[in-house]
């Protein structure tokens, strides 16, 4: 009796899935075929304009968001500089280099918990620093903020005269 009930439930689930997939496919237009017999690519979805907003309203909103982004960017760079000054003053060593969700960006983790997102000029630019961390202490010697339009350049050094320069992207945040 239990097997019969289980079979009926399984058939009901399968029938429900088939009917839903048929209903979903009925809403979509049939793909057009090209001369080669392959179906045409699906058209990309386009953003529908908000009918309650006029074009001038949208432009004003975009302008306000840009102003807020610019103000926040300055504050984030200031916060980064405050944290970096503390790391340099205390000579806090780097404890690890980790990958980040962003492509070509690494997380540089210091002993005091500060984590900086950084890019190198060339692929594999942090390898010498990672090798040095196996045998000696790597510290941040200075940061260079000479160009206000660019993020600060970070200069890391270690005992045998090695050094690496990276570009700070910002402080890390929870994923």
Q: What are phi and psi of 107, to 5 degrees?
A: -95, 120
pLDDT tens track, the chain, 175 positions? 666 666 666 666 676 665 666 555 555 555 554 454 545 555 555 556 566 767 677 788 888 888 887 777 777 788 888 899 999 999 999 999 998 888 889 999 999 999 999 998 888 889 999 999 999 999 999 998 777 777 889 999 999 889 999 999 888 875 4
pLDDT at 48: 62
Structure tokens at 55: 């074009």
Say how far apart CA 172 and CA 175 lie, in whole Å. Answer: 9
pTM higher than 0.75 for the full model?
Answer: no
pLDDT at 42: 55
Say how far apart CA 64 and CA 124 lie, in whole Å. Answer: 39
How are the residues of the chain apportioned to helix, strand and coil, as percentages rounded to the nearest 5?
A: 40, 20, 40
């Amino acid at each position: 009796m239990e097997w019969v009930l289980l079979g009926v439930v399984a058939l009901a689930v399968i029938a429900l899935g088939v009917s839903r997939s048929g209903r979903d496919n009925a809403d979509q237009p049939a793909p057009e075929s090209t001369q080669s017999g392959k179906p045409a690519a699906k058209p990309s979805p386009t953003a529908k304009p908000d009918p309650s907003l006029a074009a001038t309203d949208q432009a004003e909103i975009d302008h306000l968001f840009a102003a807020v982004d610019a103000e926040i960017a300055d504050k984030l760079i200031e916060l980064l500089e405050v944290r970096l000054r503390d790391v340099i003053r205390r000579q806090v060593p780097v404890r690890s280099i980790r990958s980040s969700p962003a492509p070509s960006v690494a997380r540089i983790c210091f002993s005091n918990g500060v984590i900086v997102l950084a890019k190198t000029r060339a692929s594999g630019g942090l390898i010498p620093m990672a090798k040095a961390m196996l045998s000696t202490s790597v510290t941040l010697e200075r940061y260079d903020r000479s160009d206000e339009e660019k993020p600060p350049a970070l200069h890391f050094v270690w005992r045998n005269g090695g050094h690496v320069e990276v570009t700070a992207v910002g402080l890390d945040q929870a994923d």
